[in-house]
């Protein structure tokens, strides 16, 4: 197993820990956390660093770890994520966390990118219009979850059917149809949003199944949980593992 290139550089002293600013005041905690997150977890499994950071950033959004997100983001950019990919993670989080919880992360990303000389706004990534988003969004639902989702926007009790339409048009039509990330990456970050915020286990099980259908198999999801665990803790990680096992039964 080759191990994480990021971990190798941290261990060699060629890349600073994401937690240098805390090390002087809390050296014992940071020494143990860095060993766990940046050595043990980072070298568990075979995820490439780009996928690993994609999952960690999404998990930090899910658990509302904005300061840790700000600390990790430079490493994520240095080890493969592009500004567009980072922005797409944050944009898609609005559908799963709400703007009330995502807005601080938008500010953090903009500050980090501006400090690196990245010109904002970035090039637009939308592929739908307000007229096409509903149909395109439902097609994405079908692509990920199967033909049973065809026409989902018109299903369910009449009094709540508008929410199904919003789910197709807004969640999938506004976000999943954007360029910058593919469906496998988008399902992966959705899994991380849900796992990290907790209390969404029915949806988490559903999206674990969706991940498997687009090619993110059980073993990959376990690796993703392993990378996120230092940042979201054991209870939510164990719940996520249970959901993955449930989805794998089907």
98: which residues sit within 8 A by CB, 6+ positions away? none
Delimit the domains of the chain by residue range: 5-125+178-249, 128-177
Q: DSSP letters of the chain? A: ----HHHHHHHTTSS--TTHHHHTTSHHHHHHHHIIIIIIITTSS---HHHHHHHHHHHHHHTT-HHHHHHHHHHHHHTT--HHHHHHHHHHHHHHH-HHHHHHHHHHHHHHHHHTT--SSPPP-----TTTHHHHHHHHHHHHH-GGGTTGGG-S-GGGHHHHHHIIIIIIIIIITSSSS-HHHHHHHHHHHHHHH-S-HHHHHHHHHHHHHHT--HHHHHHHHHHHHHHH-HHHHHHHHHHHHHHHH-
Please calculate the CA angle 105-226-84 and round it to the nearest 5 degrees.
35
pLDDT digits (tens, 9 = 90+) for 211-228: 999 999 999 999 999 999
The pLDDT score that the predictor gives to residue 3 is: 66
Confidence of residue 1 (pLDDT cuts 50, 70, 90): very low
CA atoms of 60 and 64, how far apart (whole Å): 6
Contact predicate 210/144, CB 8 Å: yes
Confidence of residue 89 (pLDDT cuts 50, 70, 90): very high
156: which residues sit within 8 A by CB, 6+ positions away? 163, 164
pLDDT digits (tens, 9 = 90+) for 127-168: 999 999 999 999 999 999 999 999 999 998 999 999 999 999
Taking residues 195-214, what's their average pLDDT? Answer: 97
Q: Which CATH superfamily is domain 5-125+178-249 in?
A: AhpD-like (1.20.1290.10)
Q: How many CA atoms lie within 13 A of 135 on its CB side?
A: 5
The pLDDT score that the predictor gives to residue 12 is: 83
CA atoms of 37 and 47, how far apart (whole Å): 14
pTM of this prediction exceeds 0.75:
yes
CA atoms of 198 and 194, how far apart (whole Å): 6
């Amino acid at each position: 197993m080759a191990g994480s290139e990021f971990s190798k550089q941290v261990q060699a002293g060629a890349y600073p820990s994401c937690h240098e600013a805390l090390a002087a005041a809390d050296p014992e905690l940071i020494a143990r956390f860095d060993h766990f997150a940046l050595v043990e977890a980072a070298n568990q499994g075979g995820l490439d660093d780009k996928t690993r950071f994609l999952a960690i950033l999404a998990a930090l959004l899910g658990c509302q770890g904005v300061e840790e997100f700000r600390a990790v983001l430079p490493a994520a950019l240095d080890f493969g994520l592009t500004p567009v990919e980072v922005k797409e993670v944050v944009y898609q989080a609005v559908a799963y966390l709400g703007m009330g919880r995502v807005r601080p992360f938008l500010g953090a990303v903009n500050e980090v990118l501006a400090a690196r000389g990245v010109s904002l706004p970035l090039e637009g990534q939308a592929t739908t219009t307000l007229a096409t988003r509903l149909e395109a969004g439902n097609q994405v639902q079908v692509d990920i979850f199967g033909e049973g989702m065809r026409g989902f926007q018109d299903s369910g009790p009449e009094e709540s059917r508008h929410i199904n339409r919003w789910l197709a048009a807004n969640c999938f039509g506004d976000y999943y149809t954007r360029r910058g990330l593919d469906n496998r990456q988008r399902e992966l970050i959705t899994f991380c949003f849900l796992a990290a915020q907790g209390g969404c286990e029915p949806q988490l099980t559903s999206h674990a199944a969706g991940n498997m259908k687009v090619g993110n198999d059980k073993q990959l999801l376990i690796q993703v949980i392993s990378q996120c665990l230092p940042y979201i803790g054991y209870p939510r990680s164990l719940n996520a593992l249970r959901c993955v096992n449930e989805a794998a039964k089907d």
